[in-house]
Amino acid sequence: MNKLPNSMKNVREKIKHIEIPNLFPEPALAGIGNGGGRNALGGELFSVVKSETKGTGNVGKGASEAGKHVDDVKIPENIKKWNYPPSEELYKKYEDVYKNPKYYDQETGEIHWPPNDGFVSGTQKVETLHPGTKLDRYGNPKGSFLAPESDSFPIRALAPHSEQAPYYVYEVIADFEVTSGKIAPWFDQPGGGTQIIKYKPNGRTYSIEELIELEIIKQIKP
């Protein structure tokens, strides 16, 4: 076999002494915790990957535990005894609202409605509605409160059960005066929408049924 020239021997010797970092140390944890040495770089990279992977796993675990918590929510015994207890579905969604004595009597379940008929104080005004105006309502026509058809559910600040109440749309068919104003926050809802009421001379409110009988609005949906 031909001998290598001295210059090539020097190159070979230099190559033998070059240390290449092991990016995938064996065993897997070999590089972790090493302050230096040729496995330090590989250990640091592996530590980052392990940390990120572990974090991802914890997120999944947290989401799983959160889901389990929701499934485990049970209606307390005192709320089960209310005159009109909420369904499990509504209770799970609005647990904090139902448990808040600001909104519900915790013994009877009586609803504590917002003061000032739900208006933000000072925002009420009397205006005339004209034929063709569309209004709507969550709840049966025995109630009195209406809103512009375009208002979203949260800005109406309705009680939780209203979410499952029948929905109606009405159309104004004759000019009539109403009181309108900004809706105050309540039931942990932001409010900010517009509510519309027609008051009687004695201060009581007209029901939707009465407005229909007076032929100033008509039901168009459903």
Catalytic residues: 137, 195
Find out whether 125 and 157 touch, Cβ atoms under 8 Å: no
Q: End-to-end CA distance of the chain: give it in Å, rounded.
A: 99
| β-bridge partners, 205 | 199
Is the CA virtual torsion 85, 89, 92, 97 positive or negative?
negative
| Of 182, 40, 52, 187, nearest in space to 117 by CA | 182
Q: Among residues 147, 157, 140, 144, which one has the least CA distance to residue 205?
A: 144
Judge whether 44 and 37 are in contact, CB under 8 Å: no
DSSP reduced 3-state for 207: coil
User: How far apart (Å, rounded) are the C-alpha atoms in residues 14 and 77?
Assistant: 81
| Radius of gyration of the chain measured on its C-alpha atoms | 35
Q: Residue 57 has which token pair?
A: 């796993």
